[in-house]
Amino acid sequence: MTATTPVRFPTSILIGEDSITDASGGTFDHVFPGTGKVNAVIPMAGEEEVDRAVRSAAAAQREWAAMPVGQRRDLLLALATAVRAAADELGELNVHDYGVPVSMASGTAGLLASFLEYYAGWIDKATGQTAPTTHNADVNMIDREPYGVVGVIVPWNGPLVGIGMAVAPALAAGNAVVIKPPELAPMAPIRFGELCREVGLPPGLVNVVPGGPAAGEALVRHRGIGKIHFTGSGAIARQIAIAAADTLKPLSLELGGKSANVVFADADLDAAVMIAAFMGPITQSGQSCACGSRILVERPIYEEFLERLVQAVAHVPVGDPLDPSTVMGPVISQAATDRILGAIGGAVASGTGRLLTGGNRLGGALAGGYYIEPTVFADVPNASPLAQVETFGPVVSVMPFDTEDEAVAIANDSDFGLVAYAHTREFARAHRVARRLESGSVWVNTYSDIQPSGPYGGYKQSGYGRLGGIEGLHEFTQVKNIRIALG
């Protein structure tokens, strides 16, 4: 990737061997968040294309399931190699898709490749079980089979990671997939679909149908889909659960969070401040499901922590995501800008906490794009909307606590339970607190680091199901019990 070789914008719907540019869902004017200007026109899949994609996937799945395991493993490894080779290109597409800074963007392709490698490794190793029965002469086998065609609906804020976490295990388990990327970030997922073709996966094994809510709902309602994996917001997950009720379709849901980051007085303060800044307002401008947006700090270090956090975020370079020196880019859209500034304005108007830094949209050369200053509120009551509603922007709430019990109680006082962070040098407390926090992942003295081997998913309204690890492979299988009488 260089400034002199601009990346090609892939915009076709990919179904089987066809690349479709004229689709029943019309077109979408895709806007680059860095400038607020249209940078691509995307054909939108409607019900018709979704139906074609599901049929094409069903045919490819039969071919895939019949293929020797070693060949399937090698094809997924070849795909991982192709993704790594295209990491810069995919990263740059991510920048144009959703405004993530180029300094961070190609890492998402690397993580996608890691998921493909990890799950390729399971293909020839996953085994079933047998169990005794009351009739000793029976063979009682417990096997796992693919669902057939899996629909994968991904969010805009990390579509390649979402694909890695769900598509890699779905394929490894023997399924075909129809990926519905969001209209806000379709291009890197389409390029991924092209790579699937280029490495020789059976045509139709991976179909990519960019579209909006109508395409998503058509996928969820389709009778040819065996399972839906959805990553996105709780609000849309509820609509999906209602649509899925018609066919009683199984779902796995990776949803939002309002994650607590608990800093004890004995913590390594330098590390805790950097993690609070980067896993708070900075990384992806706070538009991350794992954003540590509620920072709980033990009272003896509270004021010093606030001072250091404000210093850390104030010095972060905010700007054009295509500039390699940029660490923090824009938020996704005008609508997101209005929502985030509304949450900040609402907190200020209601006297919620103290606004220590940020709170404004950036102007000057950045006025056309959707840039919001990293924003820190102190003394935020945990019951306030600022501390309870996912802002999905560069805004964090800091609050003091006096005891371990109080910290755990505040951290758990949330409808969400996706991730939690804790910082302490005390070994026993690290274990105690990690066990008491009501969330699917707990990161102690470290940052959010999604790994293929670590099952990731939510407690409470952060969703259900797990991606990553053997749990992630099982997520895309259904259990069959086969009993054969021998006597």
Shortest distance, position 11 Cβ to ligand NAD, whole Å: 16
* Three-class DSSP category at 208: strand
391 contributes a contact to ligand NAD by CB under 6 A: no
Least CB distance to ligand NAD at residue 467 (A): 7
Beta strand pairing call for 459-460 and 149-153? unpaired
Any contact of residue 254 with ligand NAD (CB under 6 A)? yes
Site for ligand NAD in 414-473 (CB under 6 A): 418
DSSP 403-467: SHHHHHHHHH-SSEESEEEEE-S-HHHHHHHHHHS-SSEEEESS-----TTS-B--EETTEE--B
Sheet of 260-263: strand order equals 354-357, 375-378, 395-401, 294-298, 260-263, 419-423, 441-444
Encoded tokens for 364 = 């000057």
Residue closer to ligand NAD, measured from CB, 262 or 450: 450
Considering only 34, 182, 319, 321, the residue that binds ligand NAD (CB under 6 A) is 182
How many residues of this chain bind ligand NAD (CB under 6 A)? Answer: 27
- Stretches 123-131, 155-163, 201-209, 369-377: which one binds ligand NAD (CB under 6 A)? 155-163
Distances (CA, A) of 375 to 24, 144, 184, 290: 42, 48, 24, 17
Q: In which element (H, E) is residue 72 found?
A: helix 69-85
Give strand ranges (E) for 100-237. 129-130, 138-146, 149-153, 176-180, 206-208, 227-231
Q: Which residue has the tokens 């339970």?
A: 417
Instruction: Assess 155 for contact with ligand NAD (CB under 6 A).
Output: yes
Q: Which of residues 312-351 bind ligand NAD (CB under 6 A)?
A: none
Instruction: Out of 208, 255, 395, 411, name the contact with ligand NAD by CB under 6 A.
Output: 255
Is 212 a binding residue for ligand NAD by CB under 6 A? The answer is yes
Report the distance separating Cα 168 and Cα 472, nearest Å: 9
Concerning whether 254 is annotated as a catalytic residue, the answer is yes
In whole angstroms, the minimum distance from the beta carbon of 208 to ligand NAD comes to 12
Residue 232 in contact with ligand NAD, rule: CB under 6 A:
yes
d(CA 210, CA 191): 12
Q: Select the residue interacting with ligand NAD from 157, 375, 397, 439 (CB under 6 A).
A: 157
Contact pick of 256, 319, 417, 472 for ligand NAD (by CB under 6 A)? 256
3-class DSSP assignment, residue 95: helix
Query: Which of 89, 254, 298, 373 does the annotation list as catalytic?
Result: 254
Q: Does 370 bind ligand NAD (CB under 6 A)?
A: no
Q: Classify residue 229 by its DSSP letter.
A: E
Question: 184 to each of 30, 154, 180, 468, how far by Cα in Å?
Answer: 7, 11, 11, 25
Nearer to ligand NAD, 40 or 271 (CB): 40
By beta-carbon proximity to ligand NAD, the closer residue of 33 and 174 is 33
In 288-333, where does DSSP find H-type helix?
A: 302-314
- Two structure tokens written together for 378: 């102190």
Helix (H) or strand (E) holding 169: helix 159-172
Question: Applying CB under 6 A, does 167 fall inside the site for ligand NAD?
Answer: no
Q: Are 144 and 173 in contact (CB under 8 A)?
A: yes
Is 217 a binding residue for ligand NAD by CB under 6 A? The answer is yes
Tell me how far, at minimum, the Cβ of 239 lies from ligand NAD, in Å: 4
Q: Please say which residue, 61 or 157, places its beta carbon nearer to ligand NAD.
A: 157
392 contributes a contact to ligand NAD by CB under 6 A: yes
Binds ligand NAD by CB under 6 A, chosen from 34, 216, 280, 394:
216
277 binds ligand NAD (CB under 6 A): no
| By the rule CB under 6 A, 156 interacts with ligand NAD | yes
User: Of residues 236, 314, 362, 389, which one binds ligand NAD by CB under 6 A?
Assistant: 236
Q: Which of 35, 39, 239, 388 binds ligand NAD (CB under 6 A)?
A: 239
In this chain, which residue has its C-beta nearest to ligand NAD?
Answer: 216
List active site positions: 254
* Residues engaged in binding ligand NAD (CB under 6 A): 153-158, 180, 182, 212-213, 216-217, 220, 231-233, 236, 239-240, 254-257, 289, 390, 392, 418
